Structure 1
Amino acid sequence: MKIVGILGSPSATSRSAALLQHATASLRHVASSLHTISVRELPAEALLHAQFDHPLIRQALNEVNEAQVVLVSTPIYKAAYSGLLKSFLDLLPQDGLREKTVVPLATGGSIAHLLALDYALKPVLSALGARDILDPVFATDPQIPKHETEGYRLLPEVQERVARSLQTVIDRNDEFQRLEDAAREREALLSRLQAPQAGESTRWAPRDVRWST
């Protein structure tokens, strides 16, 4: 299956990044392709001014378009997902998540921020046409402590919740594989239909030839 992770954290290292990294690592064995889009690394001017023709913006949007599973990870600030994530989601077309399975991931200072997933993020994902929005995984700051040498590490209870949420994705691997195979067959058929046949003679447009007498 084709998987893409979208990281909406403005920090180079963060708990939401650690959460996304753990989730994508858990799916690596079933992924035919796996990409992570760190929105903070996209060119700021192109992002804010919606420059769809910028190569990096175009590449990121194309990765989302081709994905079957999208993981969205964000810190929660003041009961809202990050403005950085919003700026990227605003670039997606109205049906940018159509037929996709989406897994929301979020971190926040306290459990009170959990409601932001249901009342802020999930409605946006649904409006973008997400096929299925799986059970979100929310972790508080103490549940992803920072170690001096290892950086942010998920506590076992968070790892278990990630595993439960992603099990649905893993169970659908065969379905996603069939869809990928069907898409490749369609592309191959179109290529054969569009390619000129060997030995095919060139046809010239008829000319109106008039002989003078």
Structure 2
Amino acid sequence: MTAPASRVAVVVGNPKPQSRTLEAATYVATELAGHEPDLVVDLAQLGARLLDWQDEMVTEVVAEVGSADLVVVASPTYKGTYTGLLKLFLDRFASGPDGGLRGVAVPLMLGAGPGHALAPELTLRPVLTEIGGTVVSPGLYVVDSAHDDPSAYAAWLERSAPTITALLGSRTGVSA
């Protein structure tokens, strides 16, 4: 009997559907897990539903993301931080044993230039930790013009993937 593969989710807070941010997050998740994400949440497609705290579909998506073993949470950089769209979604997670993220979380942000390279560490990492995510690697910042260039991710993946995959393996019984 083989152990189940890790459940991988991608959450993208770009207000533009099917964005470069989505491509980047999917790439990172696939590289880390060795398979395509099981769940991809493009928040632009949820739109105003995120404002309705009674919306059952959003509640289900939050539960699925919360139970994933690995979650790549991505946003373009807006005014030095992540988007309000992503904030609306992350506000749905309660910290503590009955809610929140339960897996490894990877903060990823794209931006126009290197001036906001610390944004994932300073803005996204703390909230992912606060809502229960285990953030074991530095946040990843990619200049958006290089979002489709594997070399833009190579150094971060070389440094971070061993720790992330080892932790995933210890949590799921699956070695990468």
Normalising by structure 1, report the TM-score.
Answer: 0.69
CA contact (8 A) 2:69 2:168 kept: no
Q: What stretches of structure 2 of length at least 5 have no aligned partner?
A: 1-5
Cross-structure match for 2:169: 174
Counterpart check, 1:19 vs 2:24: yes
Which digits, 9 at most, give the CA deviation of each residue in 1:26-79, with x for residues without a partner?
245368x7211111112x33311322xx33212201212221221101100110
Q: Is 1:105 aligned to 2:108, yes or no?
A: yes
1:136–1:165: 8 Å Cα contact kept in structure 2?
no
**Shift in Å, 1:17:** 1.2
Describe how 1:132-211 pairs up with structure 2 within 5 A.
132-144=135-147, 153-178=148-173
What TM-score comes out, normalization by structure 2 length? Answer: 0.82
Cα distance 1:97–1:168, how it changes in 2: closer, same or farther (>3 A)? Answer: farther
The gaps in structure 1 that reach 5 residues or longer are: 145-152, 180-213
- The one of the two structures with greater contact order (alpha-carbon pairs below 8 A, sep at least 6) is 2
CA RMSD of aligned residues (A): 2.3
The question of whether the paired residues in 1 share the 8 Å contact of 2:9 and 2:38 is answered with yes
Q: How many residues align?
A: 167
1:84 aligns with 2:89: no
SS class of match (1:12)? coil
Q: Find the residue that maps to 2:109 and give its secondary structure.
A: strand
Residue 138 of structure 1, CA deviation: 0.6
Residue 12 of structure 2 is aligned to residue 2 of structure 1: no
Q: Does 1:66 align with 2:67?
A: yes
Runs of 4+ in 1 over 4 A off after TM superposition: none
CA contact under 8 A between 2:66 and 2:102: conserved in structure 1? no
- Cα deviation, residue 155, structure 1: 4.3
Amino acid at match of 1:69: L
Distance in 2 (CA, whole Å) between partners of 1:174 and 1:119 is: 28
For 1:18 and 1:160, the matched residues in 2 are separated by: 18
CA drift at 1:163 = 4.7
Q: Deviations over 1:161-181 (max 9, x none)?
A: 2353233222234312249xx
